Chains A and B, each alone.
Chain A
Amino acid sequence: NAGVMQNPRHLVRRRGQEARLRCSPMKGHSHVYWYRQLPEEGLKFMVYLQKENIIDESGMPKERFSAEFPKEGPSILRIQQVVRGDSAAYFCASSPVVPSGSPDTQYFGPGTRLTVL
Chain B
Amino acid sequence: GQQLNQSPQSMFIQEGEDVSMNCTSSSIFNTWLWYKQDPGEGPVLLIALYKAGELTSNGRLTAQFGITRKDSFLNISASIPSDVGIYFCAGKRTSGSRLTFGEGTQLTVNP
A interface residue numbers (CB < 8 A to B): 4, 6, 31, 33, 35, 40-45, 48, 55-56, 59, 91, 93, 95, 98, 100-111, 113
Contact = CB atoms under 8 A, between A and B. Distances in A.
Contact of A98 (B4, B92, B95, B104): B95
Contacts of B94: 101
B33 interface: yes
Contacts of B101: 35, 42-44
Interface stretch (B13-21, B39-47, B73-81): B39-47
Given A42-B88, A42-B102, A104-B96, 12 more contacts: A6-B42, A43-B90, A43-B99, A45-B98, A91-B42, A101-B94, A103-B30, A103-B95, A104-B95, A106-B99, A107-B45, A108-B45
Contacts of A41: 103-104
24 contacts: A31-B96, A42-B6, A42-B88, A42-B103, A42-B104, A43-B101, A45-B99, A45-B100, A56-B97, A91-B42, A91-B43, A93-B99, A95-B96, A98-B95, A104-B31, A104-B95, A105-B33, A105-B48, A106-B45, A106-B99, A108-B42, A108-B44, A110-B41, A111-B42
A56 B45 contact: no
Interface of B: 4, 6, 30-31, 33, 35, 40-45, 48, 50, 88, 90, 92, 94-104
B99 A33 contact: yes
